[in-house]
Chain A
Amino acid sequence: GESVGLHLPTLSVQEGDNSIINCAYSNSASDYFIWYKQESGKGPQFIIDIRSNMDKRQGQRVTVLLNKTVKHLSLQIAATQPGDSAVYFCAERPQGGKLIFGQGTELSVKP
């Protein structure tokens, strides 16, 4: 069935290092992808999105890469800060369909 998953359930990085969070998706018909950040006790917060006609998109300290050949999505966070500690979800949307969320990766930033 359709699913969105993550390679690593937890990721621990040193403050100042770059973080890479990976996500595999299974529906080749998906044309829109989003990364969300969820801090403890809060709702998911939109970070960055990318459409299937792109393979890279940059925001402030974040970059999303899309590899449609292997159905892989990644989120790169530059110069990771303690405030980046959270659970990160990827989500995919098949054409005309609704968002499908992955389980999430917990990012822990060590000072």
Chain B
Amino acid sequence: EAQVTQNPRYLITVTGKKLTVTCSQNMNHEYMSWYRQDPGLGLRQIYYSMNVEVTDKGDVPEGYKVSRKEKRNFPLILESPSPNQTSLYFCASSSQGSGYTFGSGTRLTVV
């Protein structure tokens, strides 16, 4: 089944403790992206990647890092999480000219 898989689905962590949210797609898509979704603010892009080893900042990149060492994986790294990064996170992938396929989301709470 063609899908985007995120892990974990739920995560509660403490301020300052580094964490990684993984994202993997099995559709051989070139493009991958991370979004956060907050009430009243909709989907906001954090980082995106056009292909392996090519990443760029989205609209709200502060406090996040990404890497794209392999085509299928696009992990999101929070080096020092803060409470304002409490949010619902989505990974998405697409091929050129098509819509995005989204993962099921990761609900992150930073206390």
Contacts and interface: CB of A to CB of B under 8 A. Distances in A.
Interface string B42-55: 11010010000000
Contacts of A44: 43, 90, 100, 102
B90 A98 contact: no
A101 B101 contact: no
Contact of B90 (A43, A46, A103, A104): A43
B42 A46 contact: no
Given A42-B104, A42-B105, A101-B42, 16 more contacts: A36-B99, A36-B102, A41-B105, A43-B4, A43-B102, A44-B43, A44-B100, A46-B100, A89-B42, A89-B43, A91-B99, A98-B33, A98-B45, A102-B42, A103-B40, A104-B42
Most chain B CB within a 10 A radius of its CB, from A34, A91, A99, A103: A99
Nearest to B31: A98
Contacts of A99: 99-100
Interface of B: 4, 33, 40, 42-43, 45, 48, 58, 90, 97-105
A43 B105 contact: yes
Contacts of B98: 49
A45 B99 CA distance: 10
B68 to A, nearest CB: 16
A103 B99 contact: no
12 contacts: A32-B97, A34-B99, A43-B4, A43-B90, A43-B103, A44-B43, A89-B42, A91-B99, A98-B58, A99-B100, A101-B42, A103-B40
Contact of A49 (B90, B99, B101): B99
A103 B37 CA distance: 10
B59 to A, nearest CB: 10
